[in-house]
Amino acid sequence: MYWTLEMASHLDDAPWPATKQELIDYAKRTCAPMSVVENLEEIEDDEEVFECMEDIWPDYPTADDFMWNEEEY
């Protein structure tokens, strides 16, 4: 399973928290690319409730990853 920012963006407005099946249904209803649905189908735990995209993709970049902080440099 691999994720890209573009693929993950299709789940931005998903009904969080959600189960795997709810996310698959949402992706299909919103006509997300099949790769998004396939990635969701690969999730092993059917009963887990996901709070946000970070629960599915632990390395999901946040806004802080893209913000320039002059104090760091």
Query: Cα separation of 54 and 62, whole Å?
Result: 9
pLDDT of amino acid 5? 86
Strand duo 18-19 + 49-50: pairing: antiparallel
Query: Cα separation of 9 and 32, whole Å?
Result: 10
Compute mean pLDDT per 10 residues along the chain, 73 residues long, and list them: 88 94 96 96 89 90 65 64
Q: Whole-prediction pTM value?
A: 0.81
Q: What is the DSSP string of 8-34?
A: HHTTTTS-SSEEHHHHHHHHHHTT--H
